[in-house]
Amino acid sequence: MFNLLDKRPTNVKNDLLSGVTVALALVPEAVAFAFIAGLEPMVGLYAAFMMGLITSVFGGRPGMISGATGATAVVMVGLVGAYGPQYLFAAVFLAGLIQIAAGAMKLGKFIRMVPHPVMLGFVNGLAIVIFLSQLALFRHETSEGVWSTIPSTELTLMGILIVITMLIMHFLPKYTKAVPAGLVAIVSVTLAVYFLDLPARTVIDFVADKLPESEAATASLQGSLPTFSIPTVPFTLETLIIILPTAVIIAAVGLIESLLTLTLIDELTNTRGQGNRECWGQGLGNSVNGLFGGMGGCAMIGQSMININNGGRGRLSGITAAVVLLAFILFAAPLIEMIPLAALVGVMFMVVLGTFEWSSFRIMRLIPRTDAFVIVLVSAITVIHDLAIAVVVGVIVSALVFAWKHAQHIYADIYTDEKGRKVYDLRGPIFFGSVHNFKNIFDPENDPAEVIIEFKRSRVSDHSGIEALDGVAEKYQQLSKQVHLRHLSPECRNLLEKSGDLCEVNVLEDPNYRVVTDKLG
């Protein structure tokens, strides 16, 4: 019912029209995130332009949209409040360098370690966050932070316009896909409000609400080109100590959100982005932002979904969105200022419907309870706290569950061979989670003088495994009994050799046996 994805292949027309749609949707988001960070609206708009353009050209995921985001904006509040925007620009520049270093070290590949339940929780949590962020547009917030609900007549009109926008986006693709439904919806509702002179809140009303009363009357999104300027901060160790924590968090949060969004778009489009190249692109975008007065950012899942849903697949879609946004700022600010907020809210509501993984409700009863718990946990933490924390917690919980389950799978087939030696034919990995069960397998007091531990179907995986193996061998040695290790894989042998004296046991060679990792020939 809510599969809104446009399946059209990449072409220039689709990318251009989808880019225009995204540009319109970027404006209120960029302005809102600038205010969250305690910055002027133009700082957010510059970030949306520069991040969108640079990542579209140099990033690793065609069709993905980057800009100023809430995930990074909330990190910036403390630094801006304490030291001012210039320190933030320096931190954003440093964050970009950190992200470029992550790309150089090929850390983007580690996104593959994120389990599917964590991805589902990430997607569902972000859909809820996008929905809740739109609810704020149903209320006024003054520059002093005082909230008030908009009048009932205005609220009713806004609701009607939102429904009309959503209906256009839902039904228009059934008749034609010549133009993006989102663009048609925004233009149609804007023209209706303008020609019917309806008292609907517009983008400029939203901006004016955030400004002091003395500036609200002259509020405008008209601007100029961003200019090059090295952040005016002291180039000292003290400055580095001030900006480094914020820079590291911006870099980490930005990469996590960008790489997860990249993975999501990969799944939606059955294509594959380049994680390491995306690290480079995000880093370059943030570094340029720091030198041109932008607040930086990362991938925007809402705008990326708008782009994908409207047929934007190529790099041209992101480039178009950035260039059109800049053109609006330079030459046509009144056009974007008159867009009703209801039209943009309606578009974002459709994004929510298309982003939320509704099938997760159905599969909850079919998947392991631990996976269902991870989905709910990641979704909840994403909504309540932070995307990066949610993903990290989800990965840790999934890893612990995996370790616990595999810790139960260690056992041995025990028999005596033709030479009277007792053989422990191990099954399962020996690692930190399974060492307790591993130790309980052996019976040193009652075993014969010579014991063989068979590793044909087992592996020593970590230092805890080495220590456990050494502990078992020591017990046999104290009883003047000898332990042999047989059929060790090359990886296990290397691990034991590196351990040195940590594991003093004999490796029993078997020239007739070849492990699966040995090369044939």
DSSP conformation letters of 43-87: HHHHHHHHHHHHHHHHSS-TT--EE--HHHHHHHHHHHHHH-HHH
- Please answer whether residues 46 and 361 qualify as being in contact, where contact means their C-beta atoms are separated by less than 8 angstroms: no
pTM of the model: 0.74
CA of residue 206 relative to chain centroid, distance: 28
Q: Cα separation of 476 and 195, whole Å?
A: 91
Tokens of 403: 């370790």
Q: Cα separation of 233 and 146, whole Å?
A: 33
Quick one: which of 25, 36, 15 has its CA closest to 336?
Answer: 25
> Which residues of the chain does CATH 3.30.750.24 include?
408-508
| pLDDT of residue 340 exceeding 70 | yes
Q: Cα separation of 27 and 261, whole Å?
A: 20
In the structure, what pLDDT confidence band is assigned to residue 94 with cuts at 50, 70 and 90?
A: very high
- What is the average per-residue pLDDT within 117-132? 85
Quick one: which of 469, 8, 90 has its CA closest to 294?
Answer: 90
Q: What is the per-residue pLDDT for 502?
A: 41
- What is the average per-residue pLDDT within 232-244? 94
Place of tokens 């139960």: 408
In the structure, what pLDDT confidence band is assigned to residue 514 with cuts at 50, 70 and 90?
A: very low
Tokens of 283: 């880093």
- What is the average per-residue pLDDT within 84-112? 91
Quick one: which of 249, 335, 263, 345 has its CA closest to 304?
Answer: 263
Q: Worst-scoring range by mean pLDDT, 27-36, 62-71, 307-316?
A: 27-36
Query: 276-289 burial string, b = 16+ CB within 10 Å, else e?
Result: bbbbbbbbbbbbbb
Amino acid identity at 143 = S
- Please answer whether residues 50 and 289 qualify as being in contact, where contact means their C-beta atoms are separated by less than 8 angstroms: yes
Cβ contacts of 295 within 8 Å, gap of 6 or more? 33, 34, 37, 39, 43, 44, 46, 47, 68, 72, 73, 76, 88, 92, 289
- What is the average per-residue pLDDT within 303-321? 90
Place of tokens 């292949």: 9
**165, 351, 410 from 180: Cα distances, Å:** 13, 14, 56
DSSP state of 178: S
Amino acid identity at 357 = E
Q: What is the per-residue pLDDT for 495?
A: 63
What percent of the chain has pLDDT above 70?
Answer: 90
Q: Where are the beta strands (DSSP E) in 431-488?
A: 450-460, 482-486
Tokens of 68: 């100023």
Tokens of 129: 């966050």
Quick one: which of 201, 205, 189, 207 has its CA closest to 155?
Answer: 201
Q: Cα separation of 134 and 99, whole Å?
A: 30
| pLDDT of residue 493 exceeding 80 | no
> pLDDT tens-digit profile of 32-91?
788 888 888 899 999 999 999 999 999 999 999 999 888 788 789 889 989 999 999 999
Quick one: which of 516, 464, 521, 454 has its CA closest to 491?
Answer: 516
What percent of the chain has pLDDT above 90?
Answer: 34
Amino acid identity at 414 = I
Helix (H) and strand (E) counts for the chain? 21, 9
Please give the span between the terminal C-alpha atoms of the chain, in angstroms, as a whole number.
Answer: 56
- Please answer whether residues 311 and 62 qualify as being in contact, where contact means their C-beta atoms are separated by less than 8 angstroms: no
Q: How many CB atoms lie within 10 A of CB 376?
A: 17
Q: Measured at the alpha carbon of residue 353, what is the angle toward residues 352 and 357, in degrees to the nearest 5?
A: 95
| pLDDT of residue 501 exceeding 70 | no
Backbone φ and ψ of 276, nearest 5°: -70, -40
Q: What is the per-residue pLDDT for 146?
A: 55
In the structure, what pLDDT confidence band is assigned to residue 233 with cuts at 50, 70 and 90?
A: very high
Average pLDDT, the chain: 84
Tokens of 83: 């030291």
Backbone φ and ψ of 285, nearest 5°: -60, -45
- What is the average per-residue pLDDT within 20-43? 86
- What H or E segment, with its residue span, contains residue 264? helix 237-269
At residue 120, the 3 state secondary structure works out as helix
Q: What is the per-residue pLDDT for 80?
A: 92
Q: Provide the CATH topology of domain 408-508.
A: Transcription Regulator spoIIAA (3.30.750)
Q: Worst-scoring range by mean pLDDT, 77-91, 155-169, 262-276, 487-501?
A: 487-501
Q: What is the per-residue pLDDT for 148?
A: 61
Q: Where are the alpha helices (DSSP H) in 270-300?
A: 275-291
